[in-house]
Structure 1
């Protein structure tokens, strides 16, 4: 089926999301490994992505784990440094699709407050035709419900949606609903996919 809309994940597709790398820089790899072994920081972040208040969740988690409290609070206080930098080629693909009048949506696990921070840091996050942000939706990928909610809202048949995400479980959940998918492992391969689908030219995908 011809692609009717392209859906971008955000973390590790348009913006690098590697909290471990931030902590490697700030507390060193050994301390970081110990911290992530002791604490479910990504589980903490999932709560934010489901719509819980960012500040309340992180402060509560720090209070529960006082031995790591300053490091946990850095997740909150320096969040913009964790979600960096932008993946510039991916941003060019987003804008190239917009210029080609291809509908472009975002579907991302993101908190309400953290997405507001992201918008301030990365203005291109405002350029989508539609944005499906988990914190506002109350459900995160790969729960099938979030894909169903996109289908119900966007007006594009599932088989005409092309979804790019870096996580295999998120891709598998979309494919199970009949979406076309691209397992993102870098912008060059995604650019080639968009050219192969006839959505961009070699020049506009560069």
Structure 2
């Protein structure tokens, strides 16, 4: 087997909360001397500095970004599991703004705080848009998985959107005290006002329970 397709669900407390994200992996003939080639199903959306519209995944472990030591692929110690964990933990994290090259130096600085929030809001907004694309064009072999995921999680996703619409940050059990106190911008509320009815309709169509309260 040299072709794999994987899906991971965004962790709570991140802009990618409850969203499924798809990646295709190809093991080249030189594997494991060379890392797998990874393609992200972006649907033309750039919701993370490491995930390009073209599908490129920018990560030192994949030799698509600079790195040294344990950051880069090793034929003797690296594994596919390491790739998956790195994407989940290092890419789809709670502060994707600092994934931009050079921006990590702004962590805990006023400029970083000013820029990180709108970046998070944009990433959060692009997550439901990705969900809409997934419902319309699910990756082959995962059609039922997508429907079942949103049947179970649709109400929670809409509830999260509704909290943002009320002008607050998401009250998530995994959020920090600082992030709970951050305000939601008028721009995000306006954008979600346009997105949410489409999500409600899409989730209702596949039989997700509890969506009627958001209509």
Q: TM-score if structure 1 supplies the norm length? A: 0.28
- Specify which structure has the higher proportion of helix: 1
Q: TM-score if structure 2 supplies the norm length? A: 0.27
